[in-house]
A and B are shown apart, each in its own frame.
Chain A
């Protein structure tokens, strides 16, 4: 029987191939993750060294481990207020973006209305606007209304790209909720606001989480606008990092420590949403 021979032959082969193939996948992932983590490790490594060690000896790990760089940052208000400022406007932005995007996304996912398609595309175009284009006009706009160097200015400026994104993500998730749910709720005597908060929002909770994650992310990582719109009171940590460039050259250790500290909030957020990341990155469209 011809196929019998083939059967046993390939069975044996499959068993020998199986192990190296799994290792091949793991190898790719290990290589890629190493590539991702090595530069971050290097920053961490530097943040735990003294400047003397950084500049004079090339070491793969800190020989003389020190937390002075972190101490410098965490005891100086000029430094740590940067983190507070960043967090304040990021949270403000996330809340504002979600609050206005939720009803709009609902309208786009449920109804046809005059100009809806154009409006949706026009909203998306704002996500495509280069921040560099808006830097100067924003500076003038917020100066003229007296909001320059406030947290709300940065939060509003970031709405430029976060609101369209939030609408887009939420609309994707809302489309997946059958319309019958709305109708049933109305028949049961729910008013629109009560239905929206009590029934609808819990249904798209993961979508809201994903949208919040993206708003947080893009507001947290943006620097051009937040730097342009602030000088002292609302200055973000990322902009304060330039302080390390003193007369005596760059304070590498403190710079590295400040960098590491900016990674931590992001890492925490990722940890909380890890189970939604994959679906979230597809913006509810898979």
Chain B
């Protein structure tokens, strides 16, 4: 759509600006402030420059958390995106069953995150959980509180359970926008099922899949509540992801300086990656429009 230049439009944006400034800029300034100062309590602060940043950048603990975080995000993207597309392709296209599937699939998305954690914490317990009990009965030695591998599997399966539907619903929305004539034309052209997917369905899903990848990346990179409830970051530090580590540092140990420096870099990493996504997306939009 052709837009007109109108600088008065700023007035329409003003409420958002005020609100976001209050809830984002002020806190962020506090964080920046802390990141360059140290305190001995009593609200006395003194300037330390980039000391905290150096500490964080060289901290083994943070490196490990970052490594775990990247690994986690990579694994869940690798599972959820293809699985979500696969589910979307198998969903009924219309009728009552389509509605039933939509409603049931959206259900996990609206469960408070700590309840998601609780559900899986209970579900995986060997003594009272269906999953844990069944695995134990099958003779599989499974214990997510003791074994790091089991903890990882539990956390990943939980995330797949929680979020695959989001990817599926996005992909489904993309599929719904394909006119019936395309499928008919493909039949007439004797296209294989794979060709239909590759040349009709995938191109139409491209835009929404990018949104899905972006959302899933961001949210998985910030994940806190669900794994915290299930494993508390353990066993040991096996499932201590960046946010869990940060909250431990800031609210648990009240190491304000390092936590603030950590926060800023954490945020910057997310921004950088998201900016790349955003650029790719807007470029795609332009190509569509060309």
Contact = CB atoms under 8 A, between A and B. Distances in A.
A and B, one complex? yes
Contact of A285 (B86, B114, B211, B274): B211
B268 to A, nearest CB: 10
A259 B115 contact: yes
Interface string A134-170: 1111101100000000000000110110011001000
B172 A278 contact: yes
A36 B108 contact: yes
Given A100-B15, A128-B218, A259-B119, A110 B9 contact: yes
Interface string B173-202: 110110000000000000000000000000
Contacts of B16: 100-101, 103-104, 123, 163, 167
Given A133-B263, A220-B110, A274 B99 contact: yes
Interface string B7-28: 1111011011101101110111
B120 interface: yes
Contact of A96 (B19, B118, B128, B170): B19
Nearest to B207: A285
B169 interface: yes
Interface residues of A, number: 98
B12 A106 contact: yes
The dominant DSSP class at the A interface is helix
A33 interface: yes
A282 B208 contact: yes
What bracket does the count of chain B residues touching chain A fall in? 35 or more
A224 B26 CA distance: 19
Given A129-B267, A270-B103, A36 B165 contact: yes
Interface of B: 1-10, 12-13, 15-17, 19-20, 22-24, 26-28, 30-31, 86-87, 90-92, 99, 101-115, 118-120, 122-123, 127-131, 133, 161, 165-166, 169-170, 172-174, 176-177, 207-208, 211, 218, 221-222, 224-225, 242-244, 246-247, 250-251, 256, 259, 263, 266-267, 270-271, 274-275, 278
18 contacts: A28-B87, A38-B123, A39-B131, A55-B128, A103-B13, A107-B12, A133-B263, A136-B259, A163-B16, A217-B110, A222-B112, A223-B225, A237-B112, A259-B118, A270-B103, A271-B103, A274-B102, A281-B172
Given A110-B3, A124-B278, 10 more contacts: A29-B87, A32-B90, A104-B12, A110-B4, A123-B16, A130-B246, A134-B27, A238-B114, A266-B110, A274-B102
